[in-house]
Amino acid sequence: MNAVAVSVESVSKRFRLYKERNQSLKSAIMRGRVSVHHDFWALQNVSFDVPTGSTFGLIGSNGSGKSTLLKCLARIYRPTMGDITARGRVAALLEVGSGFHPELSGRENIYLNGSILGMTKKEVTRKLDEIIDFSGVEAFIDQPVKNYSSGMYVRLGFAVAINVDPDVLIVDEVLAVGDAEFQEKCRQRFAQFREAGKTVVLVTHAMDTVAEMCDQAAWLHHGHLQTVGPADTTIKAYLDSLPTT
- CA dist 171 and 210 (Å) reads 13
**Widest Cα–Cα separation across the chain:** 64
Q: Are 28 and 204 in contact (CB under 8 A)?
A: no
The pTM for the full model equals 0.80
* 25-65: pLDDT as tens digits: 555 555 555 556 678 999 999 999 999 999 999 999 988 99
Residue with the larger pLDDT of the pair 96 and 77: 77
User: How many residues are recorded in the chain?
Assistant: 245
* 103-124: pLDDT as tens digits: 999 999 999 988 888 889 999 9
Q: Which residues pair with 51 in a beta bridge?
A: 4
Domain ranges of the chain: 4-241
CATH, domain range 4-241:
3.40.50.300
Residue with the larger pLDDT of the pair 213 and 97: 213
Q: How would residue 96 be classed by pLDDT, with cut points 50, 70 and 90?
A: low
CA-wise closest residue to 64 among 124, 23, 17, 13: 13
- CA dist 75 and 69 (Å) reads 10
